[in-house]
Amino acid sequence: MADVSFFVGILGNVISILVFASPIGTFRRIVKTKSTESFKGLPYITTLLSTSLWTFYGLLKPGGLLVVTVNGVGTVLQAIYIILFLIYAPNDTRAKMAKLVGMLNVGFFGAVVVVTLLSVHASMRLLVVGFLCAALTVGMYASPMAAMSTVVKTKSVEYMPFFLSFFLFVNGGVWSIYSVLVRDFFIGVPNAIGFALGSAQLVLYAVYRRKKPAAKASELEAEEEGSAHLVGHVEMQGFEESNKASQHKHLNKGSSLPKPSAVSRQLSFQKIVKSVSMTPYELHFIWDQNDHTAN
């Protein structure tokens, strides 16, 4: 049984490290553009707190080597992500991020370690830290629920990457099996919840992966309708100007025809209006398309 649990733990380590490494593509883009754009830094701060606490839990737990190794790697990766985010974030965002890192990853984590070691009896330390770790892991697995809501509303899986959902699903399943083998309630409960939520994400992906984004389609239709009105207005105005020019020529044969630059300016104006009126959803989509093409 010990050999089976060790094998499952090794498999869990590999899958969890893949999950922790999944934001590498995001940070390659941040470094390349030298901007954090609309990305949020809070998920990396909370994940760093979670992996730090799980590393501490593994150090307290007899036979907790596999818990220490995977979460130690996760802690290092999350720390690197946060440092890069702080480097390229705008000044106001950097200040807020630094405060959160100080409060959660330094202040709160340090307080947990100090209080646990100095004020909590040795027999209760694992229990206290285990409850904290389980609560944070449930929160980490529950965070994609906002993305699931977006998928249902837009009927599009564009902002719920398949591989991240798949690895969260597998990760929750493997660690749930490991928890049964080693009889660890604190590892089992949050990962069982993660397994269930990962399953729900995969079901949503299967349902909506081939469907046309409803919100995006309606926005494009509205844009096309507005463009048609604008083109019609330009054409009508050009037609009226042409009539006026013909009448003017008929009355004054020596006068010159009006310059065609007015219509060109209207057409240029049309392009500007069309670009400015694009929704953030479309601009984000085009940015991602250009980024994928460049890569």
Domain ranges of the chain: 2-208, 218-231+264-295
- The model's pLDDT over 126-158, given as tens digits with 9 standing for 90+, comes to 999 999 999 888 877 776 666 787 788 888 777
Q: Say what the pLDDT of residue 143 is.
A: 66
What's the mean pLDDT in 204-208? 86
- The model's pLDDT over 226-248, given as tens digits with 9 standing for 90+, comes to 444 433 443 444 444 444 444 44
| Whether the Cβ atoms of residue 68 and residue 13 lie closer than 8 Å to each other | no
Q: Is the pLDDT of residue 63 over 80?
A: yes
| Whether the Cβ atoms of residue 150 and residue 215 lie closer than 8 Å to each other | no
- Residue 1 pLDDT level (bands cut at 50, 70, 90): low
What's the mean pLDDT in 81-90? 94
Q: Say what the pLDDT of residue 215 is.
A: 45
Q: Alpha carbon 74 to chain centroid distance?
A: 18
User: What residues contact residue 96 under an 8 Å CB cut-off, 6+ apart?
Assistant: none
Lowest-confidence region among 46-60, 145-159, 253-267: 253-267
Separation CA 54–CA 178 (nearest Å): 15
Separation CA 129–CA 136 (nearest Å): 11
Q: Say what the pLDDT of residue 200 is.
A: 87
Q: Say what the pLDDT of residue 83 is.
A: 95
Q: Is the pLDDT of residue 35 over 50?
A: yes
Separation CA 28–CA 71 (nearest Å): 23
- Which amino acid is present at 290? N
| pTM for the full predicted model | 0.65
Separation CA 158–CA 205 (nearest Å): 10
What's the mean pLDDT in 71-95? 94
The residue count for the chain: 295
Q: Say what the pLDDT of residue 227 is.
A: 42
Separation CA 208–CA 193 (nearest Å): 23
Q: Is the pLDDT of residue 271 over 60?
A: no
Name which of 199, 214, 202, 221 is nearest 156 in CA terms: 214
Q: Is the pLDDT of residue 18 over 90?
A: no
Q: Is the pLDDT of residue 250 over 70?
A: no
